[in-house]
Chain A
Amino acid sequence: MNTPVHIPATSCRDTPILKERGQREVFCGLTGIIWLHRKMQDAFFLVVGSRTCAHLLQSAAGVMIFAEPRFGTAILEETDLAGLADANDELDREVGRLLSRRPDIKQLFLVGSCPSEVIKLDLARAAQRLTQIHAPHVRVLNYSGSGIETTFTQGEDACLASMVPVLPGTEARELLLVGALPDVVEDQAVGLLKKMGIGPIRVLPAPRSSDAPGVGPNTVFACLQPFLGDTAAALERRGARMISAPFPFGEEGTTLWLRAIAKEFGVDDATFEAVTAAPRARARTAIANASEHLRGKTIFFMPDSQLEIPLARFLTRECGMEAIEIGQPYIHKGLVGPDLDLIPAGPTISEGQDVDKQLDRVRAARPDLTVCGLGLANPLEAEGLTTKWAIELVFTPVHFYDQAGDLAGLFSRPLRRRALLKLEERA
């Protein structure tokens, strides 16, 4: 029912944040291209960078690279570094060649990288110039996915934020859902809201550029992901207003997220209850089954995607886990504040990373489960710790009611496996 959620006396909202700098074992924002290009069907992402950038995309994209993906890297060569005028001509030529080969492309993103930013190649101006050349067929935008500016999922934020200023204006009162989710999840979210009579509902990013949502003073928006701080700010600059809520992970998170929107649109309790009762019950059952191995277990989050705080909230409150440290690459309290409110004080909240020091803390705490990147997972397993590799949480459908059990399952599987395997010699 509409009972207020229990708010702990002291929550993590007030916990002082341990801020660290040093070596960071994280991806740069270029990685966001891997899932964004799947979502935006008429967009191409052209990284202007080095062989390292191309190699990173190749390593992160795995077998996807063989499926004619809509991204690529314009690799800077020695001649491009000599003079800036050349680099612009070269870029225009490569873009011309690309667009003539791929006439289906309607949006082209020039994605900045560390090398392109260090040589101060002005991709914003290049985007303007190329938009003029290729108008009206193709619009060219630019954003930075460089490691010196962005960490992993921040690449999506930078991309969406670059689109906001050029979205059409509207006076309509519309709900805008922000963040790229797998279609199946997005459909569930839209379906639930529609059943409550909420609409019209638009999404950012839209699957095709012709469906781009309008934005204006009557727009209200809700973020589907916690890493969209710049996009939220850009929308607010266009007069839109954010609906603040915990993120839709688990039964509780999804309910609170939906409830915040329902309240904004004046949905009555009976309707809300009628729409959500069945999927809530389903989610609770699924979580109960999947979280059997999680109860009472400790968890340590190394920073990766900014999903860590909402996920820690889900795992501690709905799956009975105990968080030791929750690390995020960057903490935007305006977005994850509601999630922090729900986590009782106790765990260390850390922002940024000094990886060797953080690993020392992991080893000292010996958590039952450590959430970390692929560069750290096997080395920690070899030390006898159980890990869950974090990048999967970004690619797999995990939001909303019907994925809640799967989400708990992603964390319980490594623990079940550890219990299952009988590989050591027995005395």
Chain B
Amino acid sequence: MKLTVWTYEGPPHVGAMRVATAMKGLHYVLHAPQGDTYADLLFTMIERRGHRPPVSYTTFEGRDLGEDTAGLFKKTCQDAYDRFKPQALIVGASCTAELIQDDPGGLAETMDIPVPVIALELPSYQRKENFGTDETFYQLVKALAGPVEKTPHITANLIGPLALGFRHRDDLEEVKGLLYEMGIGINVVAPFDATPADLTRLGAAHINILMYPEHAETAARHMERVLGIPYTKTVPIGVGATHDFVAEVARICGVEPKKDISRLRQPWWSKSVDSTYLTGKRVFVFGDATHVMTAARIARDEMGFEVVGLGCYNREFARAVRQLAKDFGLEALITDDYLEVEKAIEDASPEMILGTQMERHIGKRLGIPCAVISAPVHVQDFPARYSPQMGWEGANVIFDTWIHPLVMGLEEHLLSMFREDFEFHDEAGASHHGGHSPKPAEGGQPPAAAQPRRDISETEKHEQAATLTGTDVMVWLADAEKELKKIPFFVRGKARRNTEKFAAERGVTEISVDTLYEAKAHYAR
């Protein structure tokens, strides 16, 4: 048993629902108790779908248990087929039904259902949502995709995008554009909007574009082995990765790596002088492996940040993430426990977090700006506007998204210049951190020193209390304290810590202005 409040991933049958909901003409019959329909609202509310997920639940109750739950399953299966007339059915059990050991696959086989019925084995007590998506798609491909004649001109399958995927809808358009520029056509996109009939045509493609390894790598490997279709290993998130992706596709398909970068603005935006202040910003990156690995590269090579922490919650990709972390001189954090993530973030004290919905809240608590790069995400990250992560436009989107929470150069300069001004005083907070910014000072007066300090300072105090005990306790001389106040508040915490660390290492117990500046010189980069 493990006590938990927040989970990064749902159970594996939710993964299967994500595949079923992404597709058309497919129906999922799920052996599950009353209440498991809660997952429907992830699709209808968070993703705002205007149709119910194509899932029929057996909805067994306590009184059904000693009786005929298997019969109930068969009835639900038959009703679902009769009502929805799908091209294929997938059947499986949720966590509770797994325990009562009816065998949905076996039961459905004994019935007279005239379309393919694909049984899913999703071990709910060992595996999670992403396993569910990957396994479900693999089973569908295995059952439906056979050898067919290749298309006369070069075409690709785009595999991996599905329901409740972070920006899958728009990534798809972007990747289609990249391929179009190289003269490569689309054979099948799956699971997104594909029908079971479409899946039977997968074999006609010359290449598989593996958009999201989390959701389709097993299927990609299967198709490589059985249908001889090579698949791409580069995920085109970021400028460099997109160039690499185009090169990889061109190499596999034997076409010219043509690309239209006329609308790519990210590199110039990043080179322009206002971005100089981004240099060496310390970022912590956490999320699913694919988005974390691509984000880390963008952060370092395309934004000029320093990556100070890196990790993922999906263990399936732990090895790749560990390898990447090593390249960054870091130890990867592989965990699905948000408390561990929170601790790692506190320890690394980054200036920015790139993460999931959860890290957004950790950032809020710690007063650290955060941008969302990966699922799980909430409703605001299924935007109406076009906002891919992949390709050239994705790079533009990512630049804007990441820098908005930060105080940009000019603004940062103004803030420190006018820091005694009532509008720009210490307590005003960063302008894009609205939810966290404290109330304006009453009557436009600069706030008194006695005003309660913000959360970040509270954290600081705790840290001090925790790290500085006994004889280590530092005294800040009045002048030094005053000088410290002149440092912009958003870097003051770091300055205070660095100075104290510097002093402690030298056995200094009283911090003077000189100590402050000696420490500054020592840590200058």
Contacts and interface: CB of A to CB of B under 8 A. Distances in A.
Interface of A: 22-31, 46, 48, 50-52, 54-56, 58-60, 63, 65-66, 69, 71-78, 80-81, 87, 90-91, 93-94, 97-98, 114-115, 117-119, 146-149, 151, 356, 373-379, 381-382
18 contacts: A27-B38, A48-B1, A51-B128, A52-B10, A52-B14, A66-B358, A66-B361, A72-B5, A74-B1, A80-B1, A81-B125, A91-B1, A118-B99, A147-B33, A148-B61, A148-B62, A374-B41, A379-B44
Interface of B: 1-7, 9-11, 13-14, 33-42, 44-45, 48-52, 56-62, 64-65, 76, 79, 83, 94-96, 99-100, 123-126, 128, 358, 361, 364-365
A312 B40 CA distance: 26
Task: Pick the 5 closest A-B CB pairs, nearest first.
Answer: A28-B35, A147-B35, A382-B50, A375-B40, A114-B96
B99 A77 contact: no
A373 to B, nearest CB: 7
Most buried by A among B10, B38, B83: B38
Contact of B34 (A24, A74, A91): A24
A281 B64 CA distance: 50
A73 B4 contact: yes
A379 B38 contact: no
Give the interface centre of A23, A69, A149 by most chain B CB atoms within 10 Å: A23
Contacts of B9: 51
B43 to A, nearest CB: 8
A31 B361 CA distance: 22
Nearest to B126: A78
A395 to B, nearest CB: 15
Contacts of B123: 78
A378 B364 CA distance: 31
B125 A24 contact: no
B34 A379 contact: no
A59 B125 contact: no
A381 B9 CA distance: 29
B196 to A, nearest CB: 21
Given A50-B11, A80-B125, 11 more contacts: A25-B40, A26-B35, A55-B10, A60-B38, A72-B5, A75-B3, A87-B1, A97-B3, A146-B33, A148-B33, A148-B96
B62 A378 contact: no
Contact of A378 (B36, B45, B95): B45
A74 B3 contact: yes
B36 A52 contact: yes
Nearest to B127: A51
Contacts of B45: 374, 378
A101 to B, nearest CB: 9
B5 A71 contact: yes
B163 to A, nearest CB: 14
B7 to A, nearest CB: 5
A151 B37 CA distance: 12
Contacts of A27: 35, 38
Contact of A50 (B48, B58, B124): B124
A73 B57 CA distance: 23
Contacts of A151: 34-35
Contact of A114 (B35, B58, B125): B35
Contacts of B5: 54, 58, 65, 69, 71-73
Contact of A54 (B7, B50, B125): B7
Contact of A51 (B3, B10, B49): B10
Contact of A147 (B34, B48, B49, B361): B34
A278 B6 CA distance: 47
Contacts of B13: 52
A149 B374 CA distance: 36
Nearest to A70: B5
B35 A118 contact: no
B95 A52 contact: yes
A76 B3 CA distance: 9
A136 to B, nearest CB: 24
Contact of A76 (B41, B58, B60, B125): B125
B65 A377 contact: no
Given A69-B5, A119-B99, A59 B39 contact: yes
A305 B364 CA distance: 34
B34 A148 contact: yes
Contacts of A378: 44-45, 48-50
Contacts of B6: 58, 65-66
A295 B59 CA distance: 37
Contacts of B125: 50, 76-78, 80-81
A78 B128 CA distance: 13
Contact of B99 (A65, A115, A374): A115
A28 B38 CA distance: 8
A50 B129 CA distance: 13
B356 to A, nearest CB: 12
A354 to B, nearest CB: 9
A377 B45 CA distance: 9
B1 A94 contact: yes
Given A25-B37, A27-B38, A71-B5, A149 B95 contact: no
Nearest to A149: B62
B33 A23 contact: no
Given A66-B361, A76-B125, A81-B99, A55 B3 contact: no
B99 A30 contact: no
Nearest to A360: B83
A97 to B, nearest CB: 7
Contact of A23 (B42, B56, B128): B56
Contacts of B39: 55-56, 59
B128 to A, nearest CB: 7
Best-surrounded residue of A51, A71, A149, A377 (most CB of chain B within 10 A): A51
Nearest to B44: A378
A381 B50 contact: yes
Nearest to B5: A72
B21 to A, nearest CB: 12
Given A26-B34, A54-B7, A356 B50 contact: no
A187 B7 CA distance: 36
A59 B42 contact: yes
A375 B34 contact: no
A47 to B, nearest CB: 10
A375 B44 CA distance: 6
B37 A375 contact: yes
Contacts of A48: 1
| Most interface-central of B3, B10, B126 (chain A CB within 10 A) | B3
A51 B1 contact: no
Contact of A382 (B10, B51, B83): B51
Contacts of A65: 5-6
Most chain A CB within a 10 A radius of its CB, from B5, B6, B11, B58: B5
Contacts of B42: 59
